Amino acid sequence: MKHDLLQILSDIFTSFGYNVTESYRYDLIAKKNGYITYIKFGTKLDYEEIKNFVDQVENGKGLYVASRKMPDELYQYAKEIGLVVWDRDELALQIGNAVLADIEDRTDNFEPTTETVQQRKIVNVNIGRDDDIPIFETIEQHEEQSYLSSLETKQPTVLDLRSVPMNVSKEKAVSIAKPHLGGVEDVVLKLVPYWRYEYSISIEKQYRTKIVDISGEGSGCINALNGHSELFVDGVIDQITLPDNGYELKAPVIKEEEAKKDLIKMITEEHTKDLRFDNMAGDAIISEHKTFKPMPEDIKLSLDLVYLPIWEVKGPRNSVEINGYSAVVLSNPVDDDVEFM
């Protein structure tokens, strides 16, 4: 995960014309026109780590990046001692800004900045002003009393995506997960891809005078991230409405051909019959065992990619995942990045 994030950070600064090099001491160093940014990916999110990083920064600015939401007190402390902080939300916006810069072939005079604790709600990005510098506009300055008090009414987002409907709100997901976690630190909405399949077999095998029917049909889903089998997904729609634009759209790890291959193997095993036949030879009974199974060409199989909304509610030590369609607490993680309870 750290390697992937560092690559993303490198791409962000490269998009704005920086020369980026790896550093054992800082993780990354970005230089442009004599301006230096020392970049560190933080994992502990504690005062000691922040202080140690500040002490190492020389002749430039320090940028501390975290993949999850940083507590407000620690965020304020980092800012007061001179660090720029990008936590989960800020990082997502900077990634989008870099993508736009790359598409528009711009190398803005970009300089990492951060907001105060009271200005951490960023609502839009204006690009292309006279000075061609990206400006982040903020509204609604306030102190957060708790995580739940920061849940605000936002405009819904509609995606053209084959999926099941979103029936569980963020607030509902938190209330479901809280007894399992004790405290809630963050909530993430993930759109997880599944290969939904249906199959049928209509074939009979003959052995001597015996007819063996190995016909059958079935349906189900395979998680396109980890290959786990799931219950059949019904009620599929072509558009999904989300509470806001804060979501992670997961790309399939298991491609369609790989999924088909695995399904053919699974279906073949399920419909294989090992039968015993008894025959008389004089006064003796002779038993034979024969195996009958469908061939790949005997199986009619159809697949389509469907996305399920999954709420991941994060606590101090682990996470709970909740099906955003059925409100069921999942017993197995949907991907490999979850520290599951």
| DSSP conformation letters of 292-334 | E---GGGEEEEEEEEEEEEEEEE-SS-EEEEETTT-PBPSS-S
When pLDDT is averaged across residues 321-334 and rounded to a whole number, the result is: 90
pLDDT digits (tens, 9 = 90+) for 163-175: 999 999 999 999 8
When pLDDT is averaged across residues 194-216 and rounded to a whole number, the result is: 88
What pLDDT was estimated at residue 112?
64
Packing angle of the helix pair 47-56, 72-80 (nearest 10 deg): 20
What letter would DSSP give residue 37? E
Q: How far, rounded to the nearest angstrom, does the alpha carbon of residue 202 sit from its chain's CA centroid?
A: 39
3-state secondary structure of 145: coil
**From CA 177, how far away is CA 170, in angstroms rounded?**
11
What pLDDT was estimated at residue 256?
94
Residue 305 confidence (pLDDT) above 60: yes
Residue 35 confidence (pLDDT) above 70: yes
Residue 249 confidence (pLDDT) above 70: yes
Number of Cβ within 10 Å of residue 258's Cβ equals 15
**From CA 122, how far away is CA 124, in angstroms rounded?**
6
Residue 160 confidence (pLDDT) above 70: yes
When pLDDT is averaged across residues 135-160 and rounded to a whole number, the result is: 51
Highest mean predicted confidence (pLDDT) among 17-26, 152-161, 261-270: 261-270
**From CA 58, how far away is CA 40, in angstroms rounded?**
14
Tokens linked to 242? 């989300």
| 333 CB burial (10 A radius; 0-12, 13-18, 19+) | buried
When pLDDT is averaged across residues 141-154 and rounded to a whole number, the result is: 43
Instruction: Single out the residue of 7, 21, 337, 32 nearest to residue 188, CA to CA.
Output: 337
What pLDDT was estimated at residue 143?
34
Question: Which domains are delineated in the chain?
Answer: 2-144 (3.40.1350.10), 157-323 (no CATH)
What pLDDT was estimated at residue 103?
53
Q: Quick one: pLDDT band at residue 232, thresholds 50, 70, 90? A: low
Contacts by residues 155-159 (CB-CB < 8 Å, ≥ 24 positions apart): 155/244, 156/241, 156/242, 156/243, 156/244, 157/241, 157/242, 157/243, 157/244, 157/245, 157/247, 158/239, 158/240, 158/241, 158/242, 159/191, 159/239, 159/240, 159/242
Sheet holding 35-42, edge to edge: 19-23, 27-32, 35-42, 61-66, 84-86
**From CA 39, how far away is CA 53, in angstroms rounded?**
9
What pLDDT was estimated at residue 111?
60
**From CA 109, how far away is CA 17, in angstroms rounded?**
8
3-state secondary structure of 221: strand
Residue 117 confidence (pLDDT) above 50: no
Q: Report the DSSP beta bridge partners of residue 302.
A: 198
What pLDDT was estimated at residue 141?
33
Q: Quick one: pLDDT band at residue 290, thresholds 50, 70, 90? A: confident
What pLDDT was estimated at residue 246?
85
pLDDT digits (tens, 9 = 90+) for 264-274: 999 999 999 88
**From CA 149, how far away is CA 121, in angstroms rounded?**
13
Packing angle of the helix pair 2-15, 88-103 (nearest 10 deg): 50
**From CA 27, how far away is CA 63, in angstroms rounded?**
11
What pLDDT was estimated at residue 50?
83
